[in-house]
């Protein structure tokens, strides 16, 4: 596969990932959680690569910002999971003294 074709396929897959994420979220099929954020990250990276190759700088800028927002959201989700797990472990230790 030529590099030009690969870049085009990446662009279309990126657009598909972003639209899929938005459609699934909007229809209530997924929550704004990890799956949604990962679809957004994949889409943003693929479209940014496509934009760089085609020198579509506004598209690159939007997708880099989209990527940063997605990474921050994933980091927040991971932090909330760790916090919830820690709280559950602390609660279990209090409920079972002597363990």
The three-state secondary structure class of 67 is helix
The three-state secondary structure class of 83 is helix
Torsion, CA 79, CA 46, CA 67, CA 28, rounded to 10: -60
Token output for 70: 């997605």
Contact yes or no for 74/34 (Cβ under 8 A): yes
- Report how far residue 25's alpha carbon sits from residue 39's, in angstroms, rounded to the nearest whole number: 11
Residue 88 pLDDT level (bands cut at 50, 70, 90): confident
pLDDT value for 49: 97
Longest dimension (CA), the chain: 65
Q: What is the pTM of this model?
A: 0.80
Mean pLDDT of the chain: 92
Question: pLDDT, tens digit, for every residue of 25-69?
Answer: 999 999 999 999 999 999 999 999 999 999 999 999 999 999 999
């Amino acid at each position: 596969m030529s590099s030009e074709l690969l870049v085009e396929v990446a662009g279309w897959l990126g657009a598909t990932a972003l639209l899929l994420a938005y459609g699934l979220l909007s229809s209530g099929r997924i929550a704004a959680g990890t799956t949604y954020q990962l679809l957004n990250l994949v889409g943003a990276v693929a479209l940014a690569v496509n934009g760089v190759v085609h020198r579509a700088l506004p598209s690159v800028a939007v997708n880099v910002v989209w990527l940063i927002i997605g990474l921050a959201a994933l980091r927040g989700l991971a932090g909330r999971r760790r916090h919830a797990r820690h709280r559950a472990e602390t609660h279990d230790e209090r409920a079972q003294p002597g363990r």
